Chains A and B, each alone.
Chain A
C-alpha cells in the first residue's frame, strides 16, 4: 500500500548541487539492501564525478554497529564499497533510537535520537530494551539532530524537544529555533 500511494521505497533526487539517495533496508523484513537496489544505486551514481556531494538516507546502519540487536545491514559493505569512490559522502540513518557517529573511509554516518523512545548504549548493557519513560523529564534522550553545511564543513546541531502549543511545520520551525549548537563529531 505504501508503494501504491507514496511510490518506490528507494529513489534519488538533486537539490542545490547535492545528490540525495534514499535506500530501503527495512521493508523486505530483512536487514538488507538487496541486489536490485545495489544495481540501481551503482547506475544512479555513475553519472556523478568523484567530487560530487552525496547524501544517503537509510533506516538501518550500513555497518556492523551491534548485529546481536539487528543494528546492521547484511550487504551494507557493498553499498559502502560503491560509495567509496566518492569524496563527499554523508549517510543519515535511524533504527537505533540514539545518537551515533561512525566513519567508514571518507563516508560519515550519523544517527539521531528518536522522537518516541530511546534505546540504551549497547556497550553498557546486553539487554535491548527501551529506556524507561521519566515522567519528570519526558523528553530525556529524545530529540532531533540537524546536519548543516556541506563537505568538510558539516555542523551537527542537537535539538531538544519541548511542549509546544503549535504543531506541524509551524511547531517544527519554532522547535528548531530553540535548538542549541553541538559539536561537529562525537
Chain B
C-alpha cells in the first residue's frame, strides 16, 4: 500500500466525525486503531468518486484511503497541496490534518477517459 504523509507539508485537514454522501446519507468509516486517526474510504471509478462529498473536522487528523475500481485515477486538492495517483489494486493512504475551514474541490488529474473532465468530489472542512 502506498502511503503519503502530508502532515508536515500541509495546512491540514481535519478528521471526520461523519462522512456524508452528497445526498446526506451517512457512510461507514472506522479508525486505524483506538488512538489513531479516523480512516475515510474513497472509491474512484470512471467518472466518479464515492462518496461525492466528505465533511472533515478542522484540526483533527484523518487518513484518506483511496482505491480505484477500474483504472488509474488522480486525486488532487490543489489548495491543500494533495496530489496522488490511485492505481487499481493498490490502495493509497493520504494522511492529513486540515487546518483551514472551507470547501475544497477534488479533481481526478490523471486522464481516465472521455468523462474525465468532470470527475470530481467535494471536501468540506468545518
State whether the Cβ of A74 lies closer than 8 Å to any Cβ in chain B. yes
Give A126's nearest chain B residue, CB to CB: B105
Task: Assess the B107–A68 pair: CB atoms within 8 A.
Answer: yes
Residues A30 and B74 in contact, CB atoms below 8 Å apart: yes
Within 8 A of B (CB), among A1-52: 26, 29-31
Determine if B109 and A70 form an interchain contact, defined as CB atoms under 8 angstroms apart: yes
Do A70 and B107 have beta carbons less than 8 Å apart?
Answer: yes
CB–CB A74/B117 < 8 A: no
Residue of B76, B110, B117 touching A29 (CB-CB under 8 A) = B110
Give the contacting residue for B105; candidates A29, A68, A74; CB below 8 A.
A68
Interface membership of chain B positions 87-109, coded 1 if the CB is closer than 8 angstroms to chain A and 0 otherwise: 00000000000000000010101
Provide the A89-127 mask, 1 if CB < 8 A to any CB of B, else 0: 000000000000000000000000000000000000000
Q: A69-B117, A72-B78 are in contact. List 18 more A-B contacts (CB 8 A).
A: A26-B111, A29-B110, A30-B74, A30-B85, A30-B109, A30-B110, A67-B76, A67-B107, A68-B78, A68-B105, A68-B120, A69-B107, A70-B109, A70-B117, A74-B83, A74-B109, A128-B117, A128-B118
Report how far A146 CA is from B125 CA in the complex, Å: 45
Task: Please classify how large the interface on chain B is, using the bins under 10, 10 to 19, 20 to 34, 35 or more.
Answer: 10 to 19
Residue of A nearest to B73 (CB): A29
User: What residues on B are CB-neighbors of A128 within 8 Å?
Assistant: 117-118
When the two chains form their complex, are residues A31 and B109 in contact, meaning their CB atoms are under 8 A apart? yes
Q: List 10 A-B contacts (CB under 8 A).
A: A26-B111, A29-B72, A30-B109, A30-B110, A67-B107, A68-B78, A68-B120, A70-B107, A70-B109, A128-B118
**Cα(A74)–Cα(B85), bound, Å:** 14
The interface residues of chain A lying within 8 Å CB-to-CB of B85 are: 30
Question: Among residues 30 to 87 in chain B, which have CB atoms less than 8 Å away from a CB atom of chain A?
Answer: 72, 74, 76, 78, 83, 85
Task: Report B-chain residues with C-beta under 8 Å of the C-beta of A129.
Answer: 118
User: Using Cβ atoms and an 8 Å threshold, which residues of chain A touch B117?
Assistant: 69-70, 128
CA distance A26 to B105 in the complex (A): 21
For residue B56, give the distance in angstroms from its CB to the closest CB of chain A: 18
Chain B positions within 8 Å of A30 at CB level: 74, 85, 109-111
